[in-house]
Amino acid sequence: CQGQVLKATVNTGCLPNLISKSCLNHLGLEEMSAMDCGDLSLPIPSVVGRVEHMELQFGQETVLCSALVVDDEMLEFCIGLQTLLSLKCCIDLEEGVLRFKALSQELPFLHASEEPGQ
């Protein structure tokens, strides 16, 4: 994102992308007001704003997306279901890759040393 490498999590249970306030500041992105952030009844930790037109690069392809800004330092960046659906993403846990059909890209996901329970 913005030419910098981010460690992102994937959350199929959360519709929007999420980015921490500190990550947003680190990337130099400008935050919009928390007003008009959609349905805030979702289980999203303390939404403090929104960012539009974030450039994310997956492999060789760049896509524009938005994210809700949250006041949660445990989270750097989270790819939500909305982006996964728009990119026609398939999470292949056996092969350990994310397949982006819309981008014709395949990226490593959950290296063996990072797998939960190990």
pLDDT tens track, the chain, 118 positions: 888 888 888 989 889 999 999 999 888 888 887 655 555 445 565 888 899 889 998 888 889 999 999 988 788 899 999 999 999 999 998 999 999 888 888 888 776 555 554 4
Which sequence spans correspond to the domains of the chain?
8-89
Domain 8-89: CATH architecture, name and number where available = Beta Barrel (2.40)
Q: What is the pLDDT of residue 85?
A: 94
The string over 36-68, giving b where at least 16 C-beta atoms fall within 10 Å of a residue's C-beta and e elsewhere, is: ebeeeeeebeebbbbbeebebebeeeeeebbbb
Predicted TM-score (pTM) of this structure: 0.81
